[in-house]
Amino acid sequence: MSPARHTSPPWPAAQDAERSPIPVHAGVGLRFPHHRLVAETQPLAAWFEVHTENYMGGGTSIAVLDVIRRDYPISLHGVGLSLGSAQGLDAEHVARVRDVVARVEPGLVSEHLSFSRVDGVYLGDLLPLPLTEEALDVVCRNVDQMQNALARRILIENPSSYLQYRHSTIPEWEFISAVAARTECGILCDVNNIYVSACNHGWDASRYIASLPRAAIEEIHLAGHAAKEIGGRTIRIDDHGSRVVEPVWALYAEALALFGAVPTLIEWDTNIPAFGVLQDEAARAERALSAQKERSRADAA
């Protein structure tokens, strides 16, 4: 599929940017295989999100992003901050994130509700937190520290998870809502993650979404996942390696009906397809966003 051309700025920035400097449209997660295509041909995309960790240091990657960000709004999505670390944040990593944020001037900065660091070792994955009062205090302290270091609001994303702790006392939807209420951070609602975790743990995905504080939702993520069969049982793995599945599109429609139109991102990180496939997924999200905006206008009239 060849990518559609992008002519003039995709959407006037101010048009419906009341909620955030990232436009209320469907963006695409930008990964290295599409760097050149995007920098050289400016394909149609409302905005891009990149992983903060991929642009630390100097050299070509960040130089290409310097070029791309002249034509598109950019959001920075971190994967290594470990907001759930009992021992606090890694000061060097905080400084590196701050440097990337200063250079890229992103519309949004986000991270995950998870931990990935303990005793000075980085564990290479977004690991689940026990949902306890202690963990809630830790996360809020770390989010506060990060927001102070950046002097701006960040968004935190609900994780997908493959286990639950015996002594968790707070449902995840209440936990993330409490973090937003206490720290005034925003929420990045990953609809696929809600679906994956709900399937893995027997939660009610619709109830999860309905429990989130509408005013705090500043972004939505959509992605594909894998259903892994082990001995006749199924566990869903959030591998970002395929198209968004139909039940997640249905859940996305529920989310938009509850939250109103919110900037939405298509993420794809393994087996990255041609850019046109990502545009195709974004176009479907865009149609859902347009329909929601239409409904909101009708409701207001």
Which spans of this chain sit near other proteins (rule: CB under 8 A)? 53, 56-60, 62-63, 79-82, 84-87, 90, 92-93, 96, 115-125, 127, 129-130, 132, 134-135, 138, 162-167, 230, 233, 235, 237
How far, in whole angstroms, is CA 249 from its chain's centroid?
Answer: 16
How far, in whole angstroms, is CA 80 from its chain's centroid?
Answer: 14
65 vs 289 by CB, closer to other proteins: 65
129 vs 217 by CB, closer to other proteins: 129
How far, in whole angstroms, is CA 243 from its chain's centroid?
Answer: 16
119 vs 246 by CB, closer to other proteins: 119
Residue 119 CB, nearest approach to other proteins (Å): 7
Nearest to 189 by CA among 296, 261, 140, 133: 261
Locate 75 and state its tokens: 């959001």
167 vs 297 by CB, closer to other proteins: 167
CA dist., res. 59 & res. 135, Å (int): 38
**Pairing state of beta strands 155-157 and 121-127?**
unpaired
Residue 118 CB, nearest approach to other proteins (Å): 4
Instruction: Report the DSSP beta bridge partners of residue 221.
Output: 190, 265
3-state secondary structure of 95: helix
234 vs 290 by CB, closer to other proteins: 234
37 vs 86 by CB, closer to other proteins: 86
3-state secondary structure of 222: strand
CA dist., res. 163 & res. 161, Å (int): 6
Residue 82 CB, nearest approach to other proteins (Å): 7
Residue 50 CB, nearest approach to other proteins (Å): 14
Residue 152 CB, nearest approach to other proteins (Å): 20
Residue 243 CB, nearest approach to other proteins (Å): 21
CA dist., res. 66 & res. 79, Å (int): 21
